[in-house]
Amino acid sequence: MLAVALVAVLIYWPLMLWANAGQAARSLASGADLGCGTALQCATQLRNPVIPAPQQFATGFRSLSVPPLADTSAPRNALVTGGETLLGLALASLLGLVLATLLVRSRSFERATLPWLVASQTVPIVALAPMLAVLLGQFGVQGFFPKAIIAAYIAFFPIAIGMAQGLRSPDPLQLDLMRTYRASPAQTFRLLQIPASLPYLFTSLKVAATAALVGSIVAEISTISFSGLGKMLAENSRASDTVALWVIMIYGAALGIALVALIGLLERLVTGWRRPV
């Protein structure tokens, strides 16, 4: 991570100058007064740059982060989006575990439902989110919960497929050993298949967490929202404030890293037996 961060820092300045110089040159050619002489000098002073200069980033972070609990602050809205994502991930995990168990237990269920599960993931979430929000609104479900349901919809599939693969992962010799000990199907499922599937589950959860975060943000953009990073993205996009958009995207990326790190920590706590002694 440090090496990648160092490379990003090294290429940031020349990339920023290259991306902004063309826009600055076009503005100067049109007769705009940017308060600078050349396109290279103006590249760090554009009001809406393609890539913000360091001082613009610093100003943007300060204006969107202080005070941190204000209604318009990025930290507070990131917490809202994070809460929606965690609730959606919990719902997706519950649904994914149930589906995975049914897929493993019944070949008929797998043949009948797996194509529909795959098809459900091809529906554009941008089109689905408003319709789902309207449908839930007719039953009085509004605010925080619809975003979590949309996040769960986009996140359950990798959990279901990964967990199903994990439940099928025990070696046939291990299954034979359980039968030798006269273990019931429920005991085999609880004592062998569930522990064997945990590494698959946590790998799927890491994929699903990022999908759920994207689902939450898209749901906030596509529906009526009063808080969240998606709401901030929509508002600042309409205002053409590119510096704010960059700051909000970085907050979203940091939130995604934090969610995956949280799942990684939980994985180390739950599957500590997998670490070499």
| Domain parsing of the chain, residue ranges | 2-49, 74-274
User: Is residue 225 a contact partner of residue 231, using CB atoms and an 8 Å limit?
Assistant: yes
Q: In 10 A of CB 277, how many CB atoms? A: 3
Q: Locate 117 and state its tokens.
A: 């599960």
pLDDT for position 277: 39
Q: Which residue has the higher pLDDT, 68 or 32?
A: 68
| Per-residue pLDDT tens digits for 36-45 | 778 888 888 8
- How much is the pTM? 0.87
Confidence category of residue 247, pLDDT binned at 50, 70, 90:
very high
Following DSSP, what letter does each residue of 128-162 receive, concatenated? Answer: HHHHHHHHHHTTT--THHHHHHHHHHHHHHHHHHH
Count of C-beta atoms within a 10 Å radius of residue 59: 14
Cβ proximity of 220 and 232 under 8 Å: no
**Is the CB of residue 99 less than 8 Å from the CB of residue 160?**
yes
The CATH number of the domain covering residues in 74-274: 1.10.3720.10
pLDDT tens column, 249-274: 999 999 999 999 999 999 998 887 66
pLDDT of residue 30: 81
Higher pLDDT pick, 141 / 230: 230
Angle at CA of residue 104, ends 103 and 109, nearest 5°:
35
